[in-house]
Amino acid sequence: MEQILSNRNRQRFGTVFLWMISICCLCTTTVQAQDAEKMAKQKAFEQVFGDAVRLDPAMVLKVKDDTPGKRHYVDKDGDGKPEEVWFIDIEPRHTEAKKPILVKVIDENGNLEMGKEPEKYGDLWIADWHADGWVDAVIDYTDFDGDNDVDEMGMFFYDSNTGVRVWYFIDDGDDNLLGYDIDYIYYQVPCQNHTHFGGDESLISMYFDPQKKLWIPFWENPFLFYDADDDGITEEVIRIEGKRELVKSLRWSFNVNPIAGKPRDFDVSVSAFAQGWTEEKGKESDFTMSLPEEQTEQFMVRGIPTGPVLKRSTARNYLRTVTWERVLMTWSENNLNIAFNKPKDIIERWEGVISAASTDPGYHMPQIGGPSCGPYNKRYELVLKPSGPNEFYFSPADHRVHLKNSDRSWIKVDYDFDTKIDMTYLWVDTDQDGIMDRLDIDTDGDGVTDDSYPINVSKVKPVEWTFKELNETLAPIFKTEPEYSYNLVMALTAALQSTKEGMEKDAVWELLEDRMQGDNIPDEIAGRLINSDQSILYYLTLVQDRLIDRLKKSGYENRSFWKKFNAARGKGDTRRMAKTVAKYFKTGRPEEDFTSWTIRLRSDEEKPRVAWNNEWFPPNWGWESEKAAYRFYSGHFDLFGKRQWLDTLILPKIAEGKSYHVDQNGWGMDILHVGKTSGSGGVILYVNGVAYPVRNETGEGSPAFSGRLVEETHNRVTLELVAEGVGPENAPYTVRFRPSIGAGDLHSSVEVMVDGATPGDKVELGIGLVRLPDETFFSDKDAGIIASWGFQEPRIGWIGMGITFPPERFLRFDEQPEEHRVLLDCKPGEPITYYIHGDWLRGHQFPCSPSARDWFDVLKNNRYPNSSFRSF
């Protein structure tokens, strides 16, 4: 028995030994593979950037072993001006998997100074994940016109298949808003939320061919964003997929009815495959479309030429002349252009409208790009084999723009988002003239047509595929037709009630009445739908068509009624349809008109949008809107930075969170080190030329501070803060502040009044702004502005501060070592109102990369905001 056990033990030991050897070999192989990939990546980057990306091992070790975030400057030529700055990046946006991230910034525009920050308009940023001495990503910010803001931006990364690749952003509109990175690369989620993709911009995907010494445009070649009316919102986006001159596919989208505050709201797209495409080969087809030389342009990236790219200036005119192999038009009928069936990705798509694949036999069209908007609640129109360039027309009979010569046009309705077909619409071209003249409707989703009617095509008119013509054609429809459709629904409902009780009940109408709140509809999506006139029109159209079908089946056979009603319906005359129903059924006007109905459905539960707190850390008094927060303590004015897209009130529970001096609570942080200064908007009382700061650094003696709440509603809060014992000891003054903030405000008004003047005293009011160690300062006495854009420390990042004041009160500027001051004429007993403004770059939805001038322009355009609050 002992021998058997001994043999078994030896066998077990042998098995374990072999297993351990295998693991060691596997680990060694894995490490070798990782090292090989790092070396291949490093070599690839060196082919583009040369010595710039060779990291000095001693410097890597020095920075890695020092305090994270600390800046290390390198002055190679000893002229007192650094050429480089190194640091461990501590911004919270980066992933733990890549930390620590060592960054080397090369000052390529010659403006870096000791102790100052590198910028994102002329420098090369090199990232080393894990600070292991190997380069992993590079971002190049370029200022071509020398105006100190970014014009182009390249995100360079490594791909084992192609080598060094780049996402190349071009700021055609000069709004200084481009790409967003995490770990110095672009992750689709969540970087797409914070990359601008708007206004006038271009994006090109390229890889570097070291043999040809050439950047090869491929895949997105290019993405072109156009802002037709200069409102900052992209109305048109074109995506070409191909390689160099070769074109494989097109997607061309429009935001037909742009709305302020909705930068991504695309309505329609045309997706097309180029000549040579076949169903059998798909994207591997033998494409034959090449861009003519006169329709391309080339440029330089890091001193290396690019291959040909579609020319932005002529792209639209050229593409309208192309005959494609297959074309699919997609309309977002419900005005919800989000990724289909992805509950964690519900942003409005920036790429345009990405159609779902059509897989029905005989009507095959693959998806181009992703994620798609899905098969439901979108109108698809497919031309299988175009005989010429795309043509479009507007049909007043259904208030829609259509693709001419469509072989199939349809909507699959899923009104309640359960991914099941509830209705279908199918347009038919009975005479094959390219214009659809009949509409078949399956009102219950059982695959059988329930209702069908001829479409009057006598008023059809051609429409050019341009923003101008689409907008001029459809904007009036979106403005008026929802009300007309509502009135028709109300008339039909009353008619059905008079015919047979209960026939008027409809599930789609009930969903509308429930404010689109359904089991499968998240609250945020429900809010978007109910607040969109286009969505409302779509759902009302579903209701009206279902009710018309029900009325037809009710047994009501008045021929005169149906003759007039059907004639009006065929012409798309919704008002005439409603009047006809009202006349024959004597329904009268709706008890609730359309305006009242939409107000009721869109009225949110009233909740506070402002807050205040004076208990979390005495003597602090804080006040805020959902966009910005300020605080006052012992005469200092301080700023909190918020992520503006979150709409958060922080003060009611600020004592429950983690320290707000670090960006770790999600909403933002305290963004200003005030020190012994006014901070951002504290005041200094000048009496007979002597300056008396209205603050108390010790908490003892004078001035003494007190405060109270003046007014609090859901939409505005006003405090009163009183400083007593200000100025000369023998004749002190009292200074009263009334800071106030309203819902949605990024600024706070401050009304200040001085009491207690001694006859003959000359009284002036100074307003202070703390100096930042690295700042651009701006003042304009005629506009009534002092402002700065700058940097205090890496944990906070870039901030903006501003004071706007009544210029008619201006006396002079008074520059002090620790703060900037503006002096205003002050008459005791008369209030002066000024405004404090704060900005935190990290709190922008699109933080890359506004300039100091952009901040100053914001203040110029908003220097004396409308503000209503209770005065003294």
> Could you tell me which of 834, 836, 829 has the C-alpha nearest to residue 753?
829
Measured in whole angstroms, the distance separating CA 549 from the mean position of its chain's CA atoms is 42
Question: How far apart (Å, rounded) are the C-alpha atoms in residues 617 and 720?
Answer: 18
CA distance 249 to 370: 13
What secondary structure letter does DSSP report for 22? H
Task: List strand residue ranges (DSSP E) for 583-688, in order.
Answer: 610-613, 621-625, 629-633, 636-642, 668-670, 680-687
pLDDT in tens, 321-336: 999 999 999 999 999 9
> Mapping DSSP to helix (H, G, I), strand (E, B) and coil, where does residue 108 land?
coil
Q: Rounded to a whole number, what is the distance in angstroms from the first to the last CA of the chain? A: 102
Residue 428 CA to residue 408 CA, distance in Å, equals: 7
Distance CA 296, CA 838 (A): 44
Query: Over 80: is that where the pLDDT of 869 sits?
Result: no
* pLDDT > 70? residue 765: yes
Residue 377 and residue 386: Cα distance in Å, rounded?
25
Q: Which residues contact 364 (CB under 8 A, 6 or more apart)?
A: 279, 358
What pLDDT, in 10s, does the model give residues 722-748? 999 999 999 999 999 999 999 999 999
Q: Grade residue 850 by pLDDT with cuts at 50, 70 and 90.
A: very high
CA 844 – CA 198 distance, rounded (Å): 15
From CA 432, how far away is CA 645, in angstroms rounded?
A: 50
Q: How confident is the model at residue 787 (pLDDT cuts 50, 70, 90)?
A: very high
Domain definitions of the chain by residue range: 472-602, 610-861
Token pair 């390229």 in the structure block, residue = 206
Task: Give tens-digit pLDDT for 292-327.
Answer: 999 999 999 999 999 999 999 999 999 999 999 999
Helix (H, G, I), strand (E, B) or coil at 134: coil
Amino acid 15: pLDDT: 53
- The phi and psi torsions of 51 (rounded to 5 degrees) equal -65, -20
Count the neighbouring beta carbons within 10 Å of the beta carbon of residue 188: 11
Closest by Cα among 150, 172, 147 to 234? 172
Residue 758: band (very low, low, confident or very high) from pLDDT cuts 50, 70, 90: confident
Distance CA(713)–CA(605), nearest Å, equals 14
| Alpha-carbon torsion, ordered 309, 314, 316, 317, to 10 deg | -130
pLDDT reported for residue 261: 87
Q: pLDDT tens digits for 525-557? A: 999 999 999 999 999 999 999 999 999 999 999
Q: Would you say the pTM of this structure is higher than 0.75?
A: yes
Q: With 60 as the cut, is the pLDDT of residue 8 above it? A: no
Residue 25 has pLDDT above 60, yes or no: no
pLDDT for 26 equals 43
CATH 3.40.720 fits domain 610-861: no
Whether residue 186 has pLDDT greater than 80: yes
The CA angle 367-372-374, to the nearest 5 degrees, is: 105
Per-residue model confidence as pLDDT tens digits over 461-506: 999 999 999 999 999 999 999 999 999 999 999 999 998 888 889 9
Q: What is the pLDDT of residues 136-154, one digit of tens each?
A: 999 999 999 999 999 999 9
> At residue 33, does pLDDT exceed 70?
no
Distances (CA, A) of 737 to 239, 340, 614, 691: 55, 52, 15, 18
Two tokens at 579?
């009047």
> What pLDDT is recorded for position 865?
64
Are the CB atoms for 219 and 241 separated by under 8 Å?
Answer: yes
Distance CA 478, CA 267 (A): 12
CA dist 746 and 624 (Å) reads: 9
Mean pLDDT value across the chain = 94
The whole-number pLDDT of residue 3 equals 40
